[in-house]
Structure 1
Amino acid sequence: MTNLGKYSAAFWLDIAVKAALVCLLAFGAFSGLQQFEGKAFVWRLATYPIAALIIPVIWAVRGRKPGYLYAADILLTLPFLIDTVGNALDFYDAIEWWDDANHLVNWALLSGAMGAIWRPRFSSWTTLGLVVGFGAATAILWEIAEYLAFIRNSPELATAYQDTLGDMALGLAGSFLAGLGFGFAPRR
């Protein structure tokens, strides 16, 4: 029998974030509730868990070296959980600024995951540049995915251009904040 007490609090937090994500995604995909309608929840159920497994898979492929990157793993998964919780609580339709706040905060978290990985390996300025570049690229890819998944055939198409530019700008701003934090925070 495995001694579960040997695992750190970070391990259990990581597991809890991933479990909550998968459970809420399944609920959203199959509950039939109105707040999930037209929000591509089957697509999210198929893709968000893949994103949540990126760091564990890379770690396993690289030989499970000591020093698992819990902070990066949690930071990478949290934006997907926050997005899913926002949909479950109908915040995207009920709170006007929720989508904008998510693009800023979630890109700070997502980019922060990369900052946690790159900070020990690169200088402050290089870390800042890599984090901002990663954030910009993923913000663009996210907006393309949003368009393909549900905007192109929805009533939101009329205002999508302005919203997309705003979302990308907020994602870039969040990435910049994460880059500053991870690039220029005091090092040990």
Structure 2
Amino acid sequence: MATLKTSAPAAVSRPFTRYAALTATAALFLLLLTALIWPDLSGIKGKASTARLVVYPLGAMVLPLWWWAYGRSRSALHTSFPWAAHLLITLPWLVDLIGNRLNLFDTIAWWDDAMHFVLWGLLTAGVLLAFAPWPLSRGLTAFVALGFGVTAAVIWELGEYYAFIRHSAELRTAYTDTLGDLSLGTLGALLAGLIVSHTRRRPPLQG
């Protein structure tokens, strides 16, 4: 009886991906450090800055911690650290910090909507590359992407509401804004699932 193959083909070596992931990680921690030292310049003051200073590094380090604790010796999905997945998972946290630092969320009307679509797509793609079994059909990949993307988006919106929206002027438009954010995040996750399914027909990028 045929069995489902859960490991990916041998990864294509891409040193640039590894360097980009390391650079993004270093930039993220540098921005977090400067936000801790000079909170008035961070752009996240009054926007659940304490929660962000905790959640963002944890979000970016989930994959390296998993790899160190489990993946390097027992993962059936990867023979080496999945640098492309790490880059995709790290970028949303980094881009969000940069956007807040440059005040783009408050000065460009469409920026917040665009970020919910793009960053949720990047995060979902990274999670799929890191943890989704190989191979999955396009339909199953899309369902997994939606499952993760929608769940994570709901958790994010609940966290935002509890951390600062319920006590801010944004509460008046929070319902409409939340529906829009959830819709855009869902679409971004779905697109990520379709793209990952397509790219996985070729050797995946891991380093």
Report the TM-score when normalising by structure 1: 0.89
1:184 pairs with 2:192: no
Distance 1:61 1:86, change over 3 A: same
1:128 pairs with 2:130: no
Q: Distance in 2 between matches of 1:46 and 1:186?
A: 33
1:100 pairs with 2:110: no
Tell me the residue number matched to 2:80.
67
Q: Distance in 2 between matches of 1:75 and 1:33?
A: 26
C-alpha displacement at 1:185, in angstroms? 4.1
Deviations 1:33-90 (A, max 9, x none): 3833311222211111011111111111125253211111111111000100000001
- 1:49 maps to a residue whose letter is P
C-alpha displacement at 1:121, in angstroms? 3.7
Tell me which moved more, 48-57 or 177-186.
177-186
Question: Per chain length, whose mean CA-contact separation is higher, i.e. which structure has more relative contact order (CA < 8 Å, sep 6+)?
Answer: 2
Question: Which segments of 5 or more consecutive residues in structure 2 lack a partner in the other structure?
Answer: 1-13, 74-78, 203-207
Match for residue 171 of structure 2 among 141, 157, 163: 157
Q: How many residues are matched?
A: 182
- 1:41 maps to a residue whose letter is S
Q: Any conservation in 2 of the 1:25–1:41 contact (CA below 8 Å)? A: no
Tell me which moved more, 9-18 or 151-160.
9-18
Distance 1:124 1:44, change over 3 A: same
Structure 1 stretches of at least 4 aligned residues deviating more than 4 Å after TM superposition: none
How big is the alpha-carbon RMSD for the aligned residues of Structure 1 and Structure 2?
Answer: 1.8
Q: How does 1:1-188 map to 2 (within 5 A)?
A: 8-31=15-38, 32-33=40-41, 35-62=43-70, 64-65=72-73, 66-117=79-130, 118=132, 120-185=134-199, 187-188=201-202
Report the TM-score when normalising by structure 2: 0.82
Q: Any conservation in 2 of the 1:107–1:175 contact (CA below 8 Å)? A: yes
Distance 1:87 1:77, change over 3 A: same
Tell me the residue number matched to 1:3.
none
- Sequence identity of aligned pairs in percent? 41
Tell me the residue number matched to 1:4.
none
C-alpha displacement at 1:175, in angstroms? 0.4
Tell me which moved more, 25-34 or 99-108.
25-34
Secondary structure class of the residue paired with 1:122: coil
Q: Distance in 1 between matches of 2:178 and 2:92?
A: 18
